[in-house]
Amino acid sequence: MRFPTLLSAASALLAAPAALAAPASEISSQNDILSPDFVPLYKRENLCNLKAPPQLCTPNKSVTVEETAQRAYQFYRAFVVDGDPRTMFSLIDNVYEQHNPGYRSGPQAIWSLFCSGRKIGTEQSTDWCFDATTNMSWARYSVVDRWRWVDGCVHEHWDQGERFPSKDKCFKLPTTTP
C-alpha cells in the first residue's frame, strides 16, 4: 500500500469535532468532507504512540459475503476518508500477505504508514468496490489498491498495476444506495 502525497487540504479543518458513527441512513448524503453536513463514520486518531495496532481482525468462518461487503466499505472509509487506524487495522488479519515488494507481509510492516490517521481523500474524489464473486475489494485514490478478504478479514494486498473494476461488478450496499 503506497501512501499518497495527495492529502485533502480540508482534512485539517475537519479533524476536531468528536466524530460519532453516522447512522446508516446518513451514509449516502453526508459522505463528502467538504459538505457542512459531513459526519465521519469513524473517529480520526493518531495512534503512533503505540508500537503495534491495538487490535487485529480475528478470522471468523461465519462472516457472510454481505457482511464482508459491509466491512470492505468500513475498511475503505477508515483508510481513505476518515483516517482511522484503529478501525482499519481491526479489519486486517495477522497474515496480511503483501505483494508490494517494498514491504514485508503482516500488519506490523505497514503500521507506521497509517498510525497517524491521515486522511487521503473524500468519497467524491475516491472510490471503493467489493466483488462478491471473488471476495476482493478495491480502493481508488491516487493509486488503486486491491485486497482479498478471507473469513471476514483483509488477508492479502496488491497495489501495482491494479485496475478498478467496472461498477456493475461492485456489491451494492443497502445503506449506500441512494
Binding residues for ligand NAG, rule: CB under 6 A, are: 60, 62-65, 67-68, 134-135
- If the CB atoms of residues 112 and 134 are measured against ligand NAG, the closer one turns out to be 134
Least Å distance, CB 63 to ligand NAG, is 5
Give the N- to C-terminal CA distance of the chain in Å, as an integer. Answer: 30
Give the nearer residue to ligand NAG in terms of CB position, either 35 or 60.
Answer: 60
Q: What angle do CA 145, 57, 166 make, to 5 degrees?
A: 30
Nearer of residues 67 and 160 to ligand NAG, judged by Cβ:
67
Q: Which amino acid is at 16?
A: A
Give least dist CB 110 to ligand NAG, A.
23
Closest distance of CB 105 from ligand NAG, Å: 20
- Show the cell assigned to 54: 491495538
Minimum Å gap between C-beta 59 and ligand NAG is 9
Nearer to ligand NAG, 6 or 24 (CB): 24
- Say if CB 33 and CB 119 are below 8 A apart: yes
β strands within 65-152, DSSP E: 92-98, 127-131, 136-140, 144-150
* Residue 15 C-beta: closest distance to ligand NAG, Å: 32
State which residue, 55 or 112, has the beta carbon closest to ligand NAG.
Answer: 55
User: Edge to edge, what strands does the sheet with 92-98 contain?
Assistant: 92-98, 153-158, 144-150, 136-140, 127-131
Query: With DSSP H G I counted as helix, E B as strand and the rest as coil, what are the percentages for the chain, rounded to 5?
Result: 25, 15, 60
Cα torsion angle, 68, 127, 154, 112, sign: negative
